[in-house]
Amino acid sequence: MDFLSFRADLDAAVTRFARDRLAPGIGVHIEDHSFPTRLVAEFGDLGLFGTAYDPAFGGAGLGVRGAALVTEALARVEPSFAAIYICHSAPASLLDRYASAELKEEWLRPANEGRFIGSFGVTEPHGGSDIANIRTRAIEDGDDFVLTGAKVFSTNAGTPPHRFTTVVAVTDPDKGGKGLSTFVVPVGTAGFSFGRRKSKIGWRVADSVELFLDEVRVPKANLIGRRGDGLKQVLTVLSVGRILVAAIGLGLARKALDLARDHGRERKLFGASILEHQGLAFPLADIATEIHAVELMIANAARLADDGIPFRTESSMTKLFASQLALKAATQSIQVHGGYGVFDEHAVAGLLGEAKVLEIVEGTSEMQRMVIARELLR
């Protein structure tokens, strides 16, 4: 499916959902940090969860470029709803790129069609960004693997539409990072359970919980791709995820700029709009310029990913720059709002926490600098 041929229709569909359904319906969920089950179902009914993926399994085939467009449009209304989308995209990308046709038919097709969503089980309590140091074990036993371990920060897990998690585990301990493999673990499997949800400063409507695997038995057919390819798979999926995190940052920065501009035009100081004063106008001009730069960076990184060209460094650069911009834009927009900006009743107040989360997820800013620096020193 040609991307350019469907971009206008995709933009229209996502914008219409964001304007007509998400904008008026998300407020109550933000206030009580609750998962927006009905809105997720409506979004799924539009087939938008499958934007990026293989049409042979119910997707639209628009790749990372299409997913980035969807992400940005959602984030411009509510960044934490966009987080639900991109955190489902991680397990979906893993299946789309590496799984057998049987696994795709069982899990990717219904996910693309909006019948349920998935989550990603990677980060562990002791390890953080150190993927190669994963301790969750998958022991071969007859026709099954038996998984034991724990994961943290698994977004979407334990919510009403959640039906499966993709779990990264050690299958060959003697091979270090090359001994990792990935598995589909269905919700309801004996020994598979979730911790309680906790409120966060950002991604307020996107539940993030712990996963517990106590001798969870899954068939060998649930192995995604080849045994031992887990590290390579996860690094690729995380690189895609960083592009989508950048797209959240872009949407958030645009929202912050819009709010600052609308408020600043109405607010008077010494007989003139406050935006006529360079101290406030010039920082917004810088933000507008950086928004344009991030848009181009996302387009380039997504193109590389879709064309099968190495893109890990570009995705790290894009995520680093976009998350910094999001925090800068949120801070400056609050500054333009003055005292009003710190009250929850104003939309701008919640953007600071949402922006800060982007500097942490899918690898911290420090981790992105490490990736970029290593490439410079090669």
Say whether 310 sits in a helix, a strand or coil.
coil
Output the pLDDT for position 7: 72
pTM (predicted TM-score): 0.95
34, 139, 182, 292 from 173: Cα distances, Å: 39, 10, 14, 46
Q: Which fold has domain 3-117?
A: Butyryl-Coa Dehydrogenase, subunit A; domain 1 (1.10.540)
One-letter amino acid of 177? G
Residues with pLDDT less than 70, the chain:
1-6, 128-129, 177, 268-272
Q: Which fold has domain 119-228?
A: Butyryl-CoA Dehydrogenase, subunit A; domain 2 (2.40.110)
CA–CA separation, 160 and 175 (whole Å): 38
49 and 55 in contact (C-beta within 8 Å)?
no
Tokens representing 87? 């955190």
Say whether 162 sits in a helix, a strand or coil.
strand
DSSP string, 115-132: S-EEEEE---TTTTT-GG
Domain 231-376: CATH superfamily, name plus number: Butyryl-CoA Dehydrogenase, subunit A, domain 3 (1.20.140.10)
Output the pLDDT for position 3: 56
Domain ranges of the chain: 3-117, 119-228, 231-376
CA–CA separation, 309 and 305 (whole Å): 6
Say whether 333 sits in a helix, a strand or coil.
helix
348 and 333 in contact (C-beta within 8 Å)?
yes
Output the pLDDT for position 219: 98
Task: State how far Cα 376 lies from the chain centre.
Answer: 27
Query: How many helices, marked H, and strands, marked E, lie in the chain?
Result: 13, 10
CA–CA separation, 252 and 131 (whole Å): 28
Output the pLDDT for position 117: 98
User: What is the residue whose two structure tokens read 């592009």?
Assistant: 243
Of 337, 236, 242, nearest to 284 (Cα)?
337
Q: Which residues are catalytic?
A: 362
> pLDDT tens across 39-55, in order?
999 999 999 999 999 99
Tokens representing 207? 């539940």
Output the pLDDT for position 87: 98
